[in-house]
Chain A
Amino acid sequence: MDLVTMREKLDKKEISAVELTQSYLDKIKEKDKELNSYITVCEDAAIEQAKAAQEMIDSGNAGAFTGLPISVKDNICTNGVKTTCASKMLADFVPIYDATVMEKLNKEKIVMLGKTNMDEFAMGGSSQTSYFGGVKNPYDTSRVTGGSSGGAAASVAAGLCAAALGSDTGGSVRQPASFCGVTGLKPTYGAVSRWGLIAFASSLDQIGVLANSAADTGYMLNGIYGRDFNDATSSAKSKGDYTRLAGTDISKLKIGIPKEFFDGVTDEVKTAVLKAADYYKALGCELVECSLPSLEYAVSAYYLISSAEAASNLSRFDGIKYGYRSGLGEDFNDLIKASRREGFGDEVKRRIMLGNYALCSGYYDAYYKNATRIRTQIRKEYADIFEKCNVILTPTAPTTAYKIGEQEHDPVKMYLADICTVTVNIAGLPAISTTCGYGENGMPIGMSLTGRAFDEQTIIAVCDRFERDFDRKEARI
């Protein structure tokens, strides 16, 4: 059921908010043992929220989000509800404030079903590095969901929520959306406040939406975008209303196809995405061959910048103010080391080590600084493309979802698999991923549409048009 229909049913009282919430909670109970998409399910609180929502509906004060049951990624702070970042470090951490996105949605009495599983501290593309166990793909539970918002993607794909909030630093909304056959929107950097999003890489992180359709992601974005006093990097440039997209004429648009993005992907991915391009061509869109020459530097630049920021952002976890505190350690130095050693998983440790390598004396200029030069260059190359195109079409990931255990233990292989998504974060642009086909293994193939900064309307509309004519398969679970 799409969100507009759900809204109508609630408003017309064809269904009560409590019934709706209960139906999702029942489904979570039934299916999530296997999927492990939720870290925390807020059974009682969700019912309470649904009751409050129903009161609001009954009194005629319902807003767009009143009573909609959603899931929230477990790196978004929720006042009084455990927010773990899927880490032992924060396994018992209970925030004392709400993220801005939650504050906005709570005002309209949205229902939070629970907090979704992810890669530890959002560092990963498999959702297998969670301290609470990996997430399984609802299309095939022997396969990964992608990540890091794997729990969010699985919760949407399996129908365990109406929509999900995730976060995207290098593809963490789009790639799991692609692997799990749902739609994932990563808004422009600054479009959505980061206040309350536990930072991984501050200059790249952005809260995004995973949902059943492009229209639903737009519906959700409407409730969370906007300049926020609490986040100095948030912007007032968003134009707003991402819900009136149906029927938008996209036939005059120019769609850029940057050739470098198709080099390292599997044939079936390439074929599926190019077939989508043909679909647009048939609608009247002009396909424009274009180039992002610096793509070859993108993965390295991305990992250096994101890890450097992560090393700094994660330094605050010392076991003293919050988070896991080791019983070992006679002095301050020993205590921090023991707490961090026991509290962080391997991938997080690798990123911290890499980040400090990029920043430390003697290496800073060659690594960190050069990476930021590449960042400037990539932004420029995107600007050049957008001189000639309205949107850019690329694959979301080089492959479909792989088998659990297949490659997530090889960091280099994992990093290189981010090639299709990281440039969008480096350039701060909006992008949306949707299913455009299925692989031989039956798993969804994702394509991404990237837009100009603060022009989410166009990519949502272009994505929505495709989805209307595409026959998406239901997840098997």
Chain B
Amino acid sequence: MRYQPVIGLEIHAELLTDSKVFCTCQNEFGGSENTRVCPRCSGMPGTLPLLNQNAVKLAARAGIATDCTVNKYSAFDRKNYFYPDLPKAYQITQFESPICTNGHITVVGGKDIRINRIHIEEDAGKLVHDDYEGVSLADYNRCGVPLIEIVTEPDFRTIEEVQDFMEQIALRLKYAGVCDARMEQGSLRVDVNISIMPVGSDVFGTRAEIKNLNSVKAIGRAIAYEIERQSEILDNGGTVVQETRRFNDNHGNTKALRSKEEAHDYRYFPEPDIPPVLFTDEELEEIVNSMPEMPQKRFARYTKAYGLPSDDASLIISNKDFSDFYDETVKINPDYKQVSNLMLGELLRNLNDSGAAVTDLKFAPSDLAKLVEMSSGSTVSKNAAKDILKIMFDNGGKPEEIAKENGFIMDNDASGLEAVIDKVIVDNADSVESYKSGNAKVFGFIMGQAMRLAGKGANPKLIKDLLTEKLK
């Protein structure tokens, strides 16, 4: 039988705060065991949580970035369960009144994926298992790291939709300054709920929840495997069991985690130690106004208003700092295409080769704007522009000065060139002969020789025109 997968996501994103969500320990990745821990986040008796304002703000920003309603009133609840990475034996989360509700993201094919809610919660610690001695070692550094959980409706029907959604959400969270979205480091984690039903049916099947997915690629592989696995079960007349499964990246398969003795009953109830939070209209407005333009809006601007090819536009927006740099540059010099070409070509290559970040650049958008102006205005050649950019990248400096110092300024006076071209024609008589007898391909070679002889400052257009004239 042919089956239709039905997929929903639960995404956990670590918030880019300075301190943890309920205490003042530093929120930072890694570090020696139990060095960023205090009585509060290690759950000592008598301690109380202290909600971090910035965590609330970042959660609201995540909501705005995904077209959610940010609720003026939100409240905290306790989710009770015993696990050794959770020292209080309850997780503080938002159950009844989450901070954001009812958002959506449009994915490939123009389909809207609904976001049910975004809520704030705290991360748990880490356990290192020592199989030899049969014990686990608990490190609480990650306890109390602020998280948001983004819960979608089961609206996905294809792997592509899921992957597109994940790429978009990661990018939006980065743009909004909410999360650095490093799946491999675990700062963005996703659980996939997936069931299948016969094509044409509208009755959802029993779902499995897949954990441990640390890349967009892994998500695709895990879903493909699950569809296969569940289809096989149904084809053989079996039933899918509701369970949590773990994806194994090496084997490309999922395995059931040992099911608990009984179903979870988290016994949620209102957290008595944290008063609910209230936003005023002004406070919400301020947060909305502080949001940067979101990547999907930028994409539309680049392709529609600026006429960039969509591949180029996608590449620019994929890094917010890069895209910001582009925007600053075209604000000064609205030569959208040329700025894009130079950035996606020479600049991106230099960035990739050196591993440097856009924020480390030694020159300003105004310098790049000037360079593009110089190159399109025949002050320097296209090739010289690349050389100048390389020098700016390595050492900084103003493009005009670099061009002058290095003799990149094009000589736009044709008088000196005539002698050069005459000499080239004489020195390359064979090629000239070949060209004249109809072999157009050698023109490039002759042109190259002329450029070489003319030197760095030569204007290629002038040489080309003159050469064409002389070879007639």
Contact = CB atoms under 8 A, between A and B. Distances in A.
Interface of A: 76-77, 83, 85, 90, 93, 95-97, 99, 194-199, 201-203, 229-233, 308-309, 311-312, 315-318, 320-322, 332-333, 336, 356, 359-361, 364, 368, 372
Contacts of A359: 80, 267-269
A336 B89 CA distance: 11
B88 interface: yes
A202 B84 CA distance: 23
Contacts of B44: 95-97, 321-322
Interface string B346-376: 0000000000000000000000000000000
B273 A232 contact: yes
Interface centre among B136, B265, B275 (most CB of A within 10 A): B265
Given A316-B89, A321-B87, A332-B84, A356 B46 contact: no
B3 interface: no
B87 A316 contact: yes
B45 A93 contact: yes
B49 interface: yes
Nearest to A314: B89
B329 interface: no
A339 B217 CA distance: 44
A77 B275 contact: no
B272 interface: yes
A372 B138 CA distance: 37
Nearest to A197: B46
Contact of A232 (B42, B89, B267, B275): B275
B89 A315 contact: yes
A170 B118 CA distance: 37
28 contacts: A77-B45, A83-B46, A85-B45, A97-B39, A201-B272, A230-B50, A231-B48, A232-B48, A232-B49, A232-B50, A232-B274, A232-B275, A233-B48, A312-B78, A312-B80, A312-B90, A312-B267, A315-B88, A318-B84, A318-B89, A320-B84, A320-B138, A321-B43, A322-B44, A332-B136, A359-B269, A364-B267, A372-B270
Given A97-B39, A316-B87, A361-B265, A233 B273 contact: yes
Contacts of B269: 308-309, 312, 359, 364, 368
Interface string B25-52: 0000000000000010011111111110
B82 interface: yes
B265 A202 contact: no
Contacts of B82: 315, 318, 332-333, 336
Nearest to B50: A232
A159 B263 CA distance: 54
Contacts of B47: 195-196
Interface string B91-127: 0000000000000000000000000000000000000
A458 B68 CA distance: 49
Contacts of B46: 76-77, 83, 95, 97, 99, 195-199
A83 B87 CA distance: 19
Majority SS at the chain B contact face: loop
A202 B42 contact: no
A233 B48 CA distance: 9
Interface string B225-268: 00000000000000000000000000000000000000001011
Interface of B: 39, 42-51, 78, 80, 82, 84, 87-90, 136, 138, 265, 267-270, 272-275
B273 A202 contact: yes
A197 B80 CA distance: 21
A14 to B, nearest CB: 38
A90 B80 contact: no
Contacts of A311: 80, 267
Contacts of A332: 82, 84, 136
Give the top 5 A-B pairs by smallest Cβ distance, nearest first.
A315-B89, A203-B272, A359-B267, A202-B272, A198-B45
A233 B275 contact: yes
B143 to A, nearest CB: 11
Given A202-B48, A320-B138, A332-B82, 20 more contacts: A77-B46, A90-B45, A95-B44, A196-B46, A198-B46, A232-B48, A233-B273, A233-B275, A308-B269, A311-B80, A315-B80, A315-B90, A316-B45, A316-B87, A316-B88, A321-B44, A332-B136, A356-B267, A359-B267, A361-B265
Contacts of A83: 45-46
Contacts of B84: 318, 320, 332
Contacts of B45: 77, 83, 85, 90, 93, 95, 198-199, 316-317, 322
Nearest to B51: A232
Contacts of B268: 359
A301 to B, nearest CB: 14
A333 B90 CA distance: 16
A198 B39 CA distance: 12
A99 B39 CA distance: 12
B48 A230 contact: yes
Contacts of B50: 229-230, 232
Contacts of A320: 84, 138
Contacts of B265: 360-361
Contacts of A233: 48, 272-273, 275
A341 B260 CA distance: 21
Nearest to B260: A333
Contacts of A202: 48, 272-273
A463 B55 CA distance: 46
B263 to A, nearest CB: 9
Among A202, A321, A333: residue with most chain B CB under 10 A:
A321
A375 B268 CA distance: 19
Contacts of B43: 316, 321
A220 to B, nearest CB: 20
A321 B42 contact: yes
A315 B269 CA distance: 14
A114 B272 CA distance: 30
Contacts of A195: 46-48
Contacts of B49: 232
B273 to A, nearest CB: 5
A201 B272 CA distance: 9
Contacts of A201: 272
B272 to A, nearest CB: 4
A316 to B, nearest CB: 5
Nearest to A204: B272
A360 B89 contact: no
Residue of B45, B88, B136 with highest tally of chain A CB at under 10 A: B45
